[in-house]
Amino acid sequence: MNAIIITKRHISTMSYLIMRCFIALCLTVAILASTSWAFEFAPPSTHVAFGFRARIAPSMRGKQLCLSSNTLEMDRTRNNSSYEDSLESSVIDMEERNDNNGVAFISSGTRDDEHEACTIGDDDDEHDDEIEELFKSLLHKVGKYNAEAVTLSYQDADNNNNHNNTQPISMLRQAFNIAREAHKNQCRKSGEPYISHPLNVAHIIADMELDLASLLTALLHDTVEDTNVTLGDIEEMFGGEISQCVDGVTKIAKIAFTSYEEQQSENYRKLILAMSKDIRVVLVKLADRLHNMRTLQYMPKEKQQRIARETMEIYAPLAHRLGIYTVKTELEDLCFRYLKPKKCEALEQQIKVAEVELKQYDEEVVVILERLMKEAGLGIDSSLLVKGRTKGLWSIYNKMKRQDIELDDVHDVIGFRIILEDVASCYQALGVVHANFKPVPGRIKDLIALPKPNGYQSLHTTVIGPRGKRVEIQIRTKEMDEVAESGIAAHWIYKQGGGGRSSKDSNQFAWLRQLVDDVVQQSDPKEVLQSVKEDLFAKEVLVFSPTGELYPLARGSSVLDFAYKVHSDLGGHCTGAKVNGRIASIRYLLQNGDVVHIMTSKTQTPKREWLKHVRTSKAKSRIRAWLKRYQKENSAIMGKKQIEEGLEKYSKGDDAGKKEYQRKLDHLLTTFKLRDENHLFTALGYGQVSLKNVMTEIFGSAAITTVNNDRSDSATRNDRDSQVLKNKSQSVLSDLPSSNSNGIVVGRERNILLSFCRNCSPLRGDNIKGVITKGKGIKVHRTGCKYLSESDDTLVVDVTWDKSVKNVNLRPVQLQVICSDSPGVLADMSRAITSLGMNIGNVSVKKIKNGRGLARFEVMLGNLDELDKLIVQLGQEEGVISVSRR
């Protein structure tokens, strides 16, 4: 009996242990399953927390990814198939894509402006089918302008058992699969898979008929920034050229165009330098921005406004300067919809009402022009093309606003183009047009003989056409028409079949090389902004040298601008000019067609007042560089003199002070973060380092205090301060009275007496400078303030906003609003301001021309973010035309 009882106890114990093991096993499986599920569906940023970072297997580096041997075999068997079948075989099925030998890129970050993490739902197969079709249509599009590139790899497949992944189709497929895998857990704000974005960007690049490198860059342009793919990975798989292009686009993509001048200037600088290294970088960025604008409706309203404003101010003018008319027009029209939605909708309705009449008139004029050309023997060999084109909405709106007219008075809503075989035919066609229609005086332009800097060429004329309506006609060759549509993309060296850069291409990029040179030399943020806005986006005048060379300059340029355009030395020694044979001063503003002969003198040197008489960035940068170099040399001399006087004062005239200075020189350089002794002299002369602080480091604070007490007579101190100011030394910083700094740091000091310029009223976030004033401490100005520019440079000191101060006093900011002169507008604007919780200090209104009013508001604000928000709010009010800060 006891044996039986023991056996039962053993059985009971074993059952208990087995049950515990079973429960533990179930819990383990559940935990592992939940971890796997969490990793699969967690946002990409959490993958790193789990310790996962998928990489390319070393054996796969530089080889075609996501491509099975079955696919290659299928390629070989289809070698003799039709072009359509070849395209079919180039797209990998989703099952093959997922069977990827364990190779994957896992997303590790997101950009709020473009995508977000998403979970793969039941409709994933449907999305995959759409993505496959989008990629297939890309191959079709590329094949239309470069069919050889698309089909070449299939011919090689028979000749080489090891598939050559350097062929275009293989590289496109590889880039597509890598991008799709890298972005697989990312969605657009629209809910679409993120891979749809790089594919659409590649479609836009294909529309420009750009080369393979541009297409690959488009497909891969977001992988480095948003996933674990690195530039090293791309270089190993596709080579250095592609990785450099992707890197260039990535750097531009990191730009967040804000209202801070310092950030803006660096953004412009990156954009221009990227253009100088490889224009394809900017072309891909333009395509990227265009697709983002096409899908902007999914973004929050505030971001729609910011992105549209940034696009209108930067990317649309850039596309125009590069001559890419189609991209420029679409960007402007898309921005118009978000910046002025009501006005855009109203104009669209007006055009829709007139659409039937416009179409009939278009067809009528095209028929007449075709008949006239053929009767004149032009285009008999089918080389003639006559077409009408409607202006963009933004362009029409601008013309109506600028000329204060209605849509019915816009005579060039439709423009007509006559495309012919050669230049001689273009001039002949112009004669035919003028023989049959009366030309409008002053509306004839020969841009074939005098092309625009971006390469645009055409003959322009406006005539009185059928039914007495003005008709704008452009006449050009096929090549010129391609450049007019695609701009820089049409003749860039890397375009398919380019075959090298011609001298003509070199001339096309002269303006870009000059702009790069100017931007690299400039350090002041405001100067960089002005350089880009004035040189990249400005309208031009065309003038000639005495030898007949053509020089394009920004409108409003002077004789000095022309002199610096020709050569910096010529500008620096310019005393005047002969313009069309007559003597003119350096201030003379040049007109189209002027012939300019510069007069010089060896004794002439640049003057600070010259900055008031030049417009171009090159002239400004060269003048400032000369003045800065001259001032630096003088500052070093002045700083050395201060050191000598300080040593004499605090060491009582013996040589011990000089020896102590030499002994502690390295310590001084380290303390004040200076390169060498000359840098110390210059910093003292500029006022960047205080003489008192230098002497304290050498002799100690006790010795300095003793000497100062011995010389405490106030009259003596005032005389000394006056002498320092008279000698243009800024070492008086340490002697300025103390006060609350209002969130400003001067050097390393936080308690120096400050005041703010009432004219420019700096806000936290503005770029600022300080000016030493006798007895009143330092006055703070915005960098663009006219009173700052009129100040003695040797009294200007660097000041910054104190990041440790969170709460700052509100400051009055002046806003100017141009609005329609109609009842209720002022009340609406005031309501918009107060709705943001902002106080209005003062307001005034007056009438200006064309039925408009000018309102000036004084609003109490704390920082630039509040100002930006206010400008956006006011800009959305009905009747508001423009808002600007004074």
The domain spans of the chain are: 2-41, 58-254, 348-486, 736-809, 812-885
**Could you give the CA distance from residue 491 to residue 391 in angstroms, rounded to a whole number?**
25
- Distance (Å, whole) CA 623 – CA 574: 12
Q: What are phi and psi of 210, to 5 degrees?
A: -85, 175
Predicted pLDDT at 580:
86
Active site residue 225: yes
pLDDT of residue 437: 94
Give me 690's structure tokens: 């205080």
Burial of 749 (0-12, 13-18, 19+ CB in 10 A): middle
pLDDT at position 140 is 85
Interatomic CA distance for residues 344 and 338, integer angstroms: 9
What whole-number distance in Å separates Cα of residue 192 and Cα of residue 114?
11
Q: What is the pTM of this model?
A: 0.53
Beta pairing partners, 387: 417
Q: Number of helices and strands (H, E) in the chain?
A: 39, 22
Report the pLDDT value the prediction gives residue 290, as an integer from 0 to 100: 96
Distance between CA atoms of 85 and 74, rounded to whole angstroms? Answer: 11
pLDDT for 642 equals: 81
Please name the residue that has the structure tokens 């058992």.
Answer: 161
- Residues 461 and 418: their CA atoms lie apart, in Å, by 12
CB 821 within 8 A of CB 770: no
Residue written as tokens 């070989």?
A: 76
* The pLDDT of residue 16: 52
| Length in residues, the chain | 886
- Helix/strand/coil for 366: helix
470-477 and 459-464 as β-strands: parallel, antiparallel, unpaired?
antiparallel
Q: And the tokens for 517?
A: 């040179």
Residue 615 DSSP label: -
Phi and psi at residue 127, in whole multiples of 5°?
-60, -40
Two domains, one topology: 58-254 and 812-885: no
Distance of CA 395 to the CA centre of its chain: 22
- Looking at the domain covering 812-885, what would its CATH class be? alpha beta
Contact 818, 881 (CB under 8 A): yes
For 239-286, write each residue's pLDDT tens digit.
Answer: 888 888 888 787 665 544 444 454 555 555 555 555 556 778 888 989
Rounded to an integer, what distance in angstroms lies between the CA atom of residue 332 and that of residue 636? 51
Tally of CA atoms within 13 A in the half-sphere of 735 that contains its CB: 22
Taking the CA atoms of residue 498, residue 500, residue 506 and residue 508 in that order, the dihedral angle to the nearest 10 degrees is 0
Residue by residue, DSSP assigns 741-800 as: -TTEEETTBS-B-EEE-TTT---BTS-EEEEEETTTEEEEEETT-HHHHTS-GGGEEEEE
Residue 281, pLDDT score: 84
- Using DSSP, state whether 90 is helix, strand or coil: coil
Using CA atoms, how far apart are residues 656 and 6, in angstroms rounded to an integer? 103
Give the SS3 label for residue 854: strand
- On whether the CB atoms of residues 282 and 275 are closer than 8 A, the answer is yes
Mean pLDDT of the chain: 73
- Parallel, antiparallel or unpaired: strands 414-420 and 445-446: unpaired
Sequence-distant (6+) residues with CB within 8 A of 574 are 559, 560, 563, 586, 598, 599, 600, 604
**Helix or strand or coil: residue 593?**
coil
Regions of the chain where pLDDT drops below 70: 1-126, 146-166, 251-277, 380-383, 411-412, 488-539, 652-654, 686-687, 703-742, 747-752, 774-776, 793-794, 806-807
Q: Are 105 and 223 in contact (CB under 8 A)?
A: yes
Q: Vertex 240, ends 239 and 245: CA angle to 5°?
A: 110
Q: Is 364 a catalytic residue?
A: no
Among candidate residues 96, 132, 156, 225, the one labeled active-site is: 225
CATH of domain 58-254: 1.10.3210
Please say whether the beta carbons of 537 and 321 come within 8 A: yes
Catalytic residue among 114, 128, 211, 226: 226
Q: Tell me, which fold does domain 348-486 have in CATH?
A: Beta Polymerase; domain 2 (3.30.460)
